[in-house]
Amino acid sequence: MPPANDPASGAAPQYRVLAQAHWPDVELVLCREDIRQRTLWAIDAPRHTVIVHLGGTMRELDTEIDGVGATHAPPSPGDIWLVPAGKRYASQAMGQVITYAELRISPTADVDIGADRRVPIEGLMPRLGHRDEFLHYSVARLGRLSQQDDDVSAMMAERLQLLLRQHLYDGYRLPAVPAPAPASLAPRTARQLSDHIEDTLGQRIALADLASLAGMSVHQLLIAFRRTFGTTPAQYILAQRLRRARWYLLNGNDDITDIALTCGFASHSHLSAAFKRDTGITPRQFRDGLRMRATY
């Protein structure tokens, strides 16, 4: 994802490709980028793009896909963005030096669904600041393997990119819906909802309030919200609260109970239970582990 505002000729390099690998219909690019000045990114491509934040600090981040689903909180290592083929992605950020990977997949890339049938990876759902531990660690592993020259590493990388294809097909396809498909939220309404959720994460959020803001019934909101964001309002709110908690855990020394309450969880144990279901580890293990781990 080279920045939209590439530095003028002669300036210090802001963007560097650390590794690159290719397979049929699949490409991996591992990048390091200096974003101490405001940096703009844009994607508008006929391929799926999965972006995985691997390391480094962002202080500000604002991203959207096709004008909706904006995220505001800076990411933690492991957060992902999925830009389906043909969708327009725009982002601006500031921070320090970051490392990230892009997995670029053609919609013609296929997967095995059994009975000697292969189908293309089409109709994926957009994701913004999503958490997927398998995707995170597999893409990071693929980046490390792509930097090796031996044949065993090449075979392992080949196998891993096939598993990643299958994972995307199994977990991120748009749900089948009877025609006509439920209407999506208008871009302005989607932005209002995401802004409202972001501004009130530390408070109790009610479906009725979100529906009122959107000018819909609760039933209409549930259908349109899932069609737009690829998830339910409850799952979206939980994901945003966990993202904010991860950022506090990584970038400060606040007590975990205080972080839990600030992010909208009822208690330390409430945050810990949700965090462990999402990541497999507790908030304290996450904080201690990331502080010990070197940047990729």
Rounded-to-integer distance, Cα 215 and Cα 146, Å: 49
Residue 25: DSSP 8-state: T
Q: Tell me what pLDDT residue 292 has.
A: 59
Average pLDDT for residues 122-128, to the nearest whole number?
Answer: 90
Average pLDDT for residues 207-225, to the nearest whole number?
Answer: 88
Q: Tell me what pLDDT residue 12 has.
A: 47
Task: Give per-residue pLDDT as tens, 45-85.
Answer: 999 999 999 999 888 888 888 877 666 677 888 899 999 99
Q: Higher confidence at residue 113 or residue 1?
A: 113
Rounded-to-integer distance, Cα 169 and Cα 171, Å: 6
Angle at which helices 187-199 and 218-229 cross, to 10°: 100
Q: Tell me what pLDDT residue 220 has.
A: 86
Q: Tell me what pLDDT residue 5 has.
A: 46
Above 90 in pLDDT, residue 219? Answer: no
Above 50 in pLDDT, residue 10? Answer: no
Residue 291: DSSP 8-state: H
Phi–psi pair at 103, nearest 5 degrees? -105, 115
Q: Tell me what pLDDT residue 155 has.
A: 83
User: Which residues lie closer than 8 Å to 5 by C-beta, 6 or more apart?
Assistant: 39, 40
CATH number of 187-292: 1.10.10.60
Both tokens assigned to 215: 């000018």
Q: Tell me what pLDDT residue 231 has.
A: 86
> What mean pLDDT value characterizes the chain?
86
Both tokens assigned to 158: 């080949």
Which part of the chain is CATH 1.10.10.60?
A: 187-292
Residue with tokens 């996450």: 286
User: Which residues lie closer than 8 Å to 110 by C-beta, 6 or more apart?
Assistant: 25, 118, 119, 120, 121, 165
Task: Give per-residue pLDDT as tens, 164-197.
Answer: 999 999 999 987 655 455 578 899 999 999 999 9
Q: Name the pTM for this structure.
A: 0.69
- Comparing CA positions, the residue from 227, 217, 151, 156 lying closest to residue 186 is 227
Average pLDDT for residues 158-166, to the nearest whole number?
Answer: 92
Q: How far is CA 195 from CA 53, 64, 202, in A?
A: 22, 12, 13
Angle at 184 between CA 70 and CA 88, to 5 degrees: 45
Which run of H or of E encompasses 274?
A: helix 268-279
Q: Tell me what pLDDT residue 296 has.
A: 47
Q: Tell me what pLDDT residue 63 has.
A: 87
Which part of the chain is CATH 2.60.120.10?
A: 15-172
Rounded-to-integer distance, Cα 264 and Cα 271, Å: 9
Task: Give per-residue pLDDT as tens, 21-43.
Answer: 999 999 999 999 999 999 999 99
Both tokens assigned to 82: 């999925």
Q: Tell me what pLDDT residue 208 has.
A: 86
User: Which residues lie closer than 8 Å to 259 by C-beta, 6 or more apart?
Assistant: 245, 248, 249, 271, 283
- Comparing CA positions, the residue from 215, 185, 206 lying closest to residue 70 is 185
Q: Tell me what pLDDT residue 250 has.
A: 87
Rounded-to-integer distance, Cα 53 and Cα 250, Å: 14
- The percentage of the chain sitting over the pLDDT mark of 90, rounded to a whole number, equals 52
Assign domain 15-172 to its CATH superfamily: Jelly Rolls (2.60.120.10)
Above 80 in pLDDT, residue 259? Answer: yes
User: Are the beta carbons of 53 and 133 closer than 8 angstroms?
Assistant: no
User: Are the beta carbons of 124 and 68 closer than 8 angstroms?
Assistant: no
Task: Give per-residue pLDDT as tens, 131-157.
Answer: 899 999 999 999 999 888 887 888 899
